[in-house]
Amino acid sequence: MSDQLGEILKNTLKAIESGKEEIFFIAETSRTETHRLVNELSQLKSDIQEIILQVDFQEKVERRMRQNLMEVNRAYQEHTQEEMMKTYAEAKDAQVKLQLLQQKEIQLRKRRDDLERSLTQMEVTIERAQNLMTQVSMAISLLQGGVVEALQTQNHEQRLEMGLRVIKAQEEERRRVAREIHDGPAQTLANIVLRLEIAEKLLELDPSRAKSELQDLKNLVRANLQDIRRIIFDLRPMALDDLGIVPAISKYLDNFQDNYGINCDLHIEGRERRLLPAMEVALFRLVQEGMTNVAKHAQTAKVEICLTYKDEWTIATIRDYGKGFEVNTAMNSPGEHFGLVGMRERVEMFSGYFSIQSTMGKGTTIELSIPSNQEGGTTT
């Protein structure tokens, strides 16, 4: 029975992965088409402005030609037959040219409206594809993480509660990453594309200015690369896989200190060792969330972080010397203090212990303990 279930899960994962690739292809194709439509729409709007000017000018010409024709008709005795025919032909030509320009303006406006509707539909398609990607990724993560097996060993209420916690934690993480990418690299890359198009035109008109623009763009790309690396580190620190939890936290605290100007002291007690990957990720995320709360609320100049290795437990302690807060009020108001509640729930998911102590005006101490479940061997 278990073999059959394993095969079903394997096939399900394969099907979901295939579907995910198709959704990604749809999203990327839609983005490419959206970019093309945006460029075409921009050119079209420029063409419409130009045709409007031509129509305005031609209307004045047509009125003048019509006025000349009326004057010639009133004083026909003063003009030859040839002059009258020429005036009539000029008026007729001006009228036809005006009608052609007006028809072209109508066509351009119609094309613009069609493009705007297509763009709106493309944006809806991209948004739906992104939502589907999130849901599919969540399903894959749940299946690959062995949550299904864990759920089978618990009663209905426990399964429901655990499933909701996992989903909430994953959704919050994806929302955070999506927001960071949207507000950071995505916006910068869009700006880079536009400025590259400007630089391309400047190459012919003003090479020296184009060189200066490219230099600025190079600096912008470097800064954007740093943002992307930071997001990758926050998402899954490579040092966590290569070296373990201590180097990963140490690097994170270095960046934290640079960003917020808060002095961070890291202490290690006990024999440092590698833990199971899931435990190391959980521990890193918990410390990360705790430090985020310090940056947002503590108003402290110093933070002490201690990792204590025991035979069966790994304990992380975060102590600040800031303003403190009322613990009971905070923990009973999850809407306002989601970070602390999320930390407690994440610890409980690993059958660990979470405690928090705070004194107004003297600071806060967060302590969390999770089972070590070590892989064995000390780190170097």
For the segment 45-104, what is each residue's pLDDT rounded down to a tens digit?
889 999 999 999 999 999 998 898 888 888 877 878 888 888 888 888 988 999 999 998
Q: Cα(295)–Cα(87) distance, rounded to whole angstroms?
A: 81
**pLDDT per residue over 303-356, tens digit each?**
999 999 998 899 999 999 999 988 887 777 644 555 677 788 778 877 889 999
Buried/exposed 265-291: b ≥16 CB within 10 Å, e otherwise? ebeeeeeebbbeeebbbbbbbbbbbbb
User: Under CATH, domain 243-378 is a member of which superfamily?
Assistant: Histidine kinase-like ATPase, C-terminal domain (3.30.565.10)
**pLDDT per residue over 54-64, tens digit each?**
999 999 999 99
Q: In 3D, which of 41, 62, 202, 161 has the Cα closest to residue 111? A: 41
Q: What pTM does this model have?
A: 0.45
The reported pLDDT for the residue numbered 319 is 96
Could you tell me the two tokens for 375?
Answer: 């892989």
146: left (phi over 0), alpha (psi -120 to 50) or beta: left
- In the chain, where the domains are located: 2-229, 243-378
The reported pLDDT for the residue numbered 225 is 76
Q: Between helices 2-74 and 81-144, what is the axis angle to 10°?
A: 170
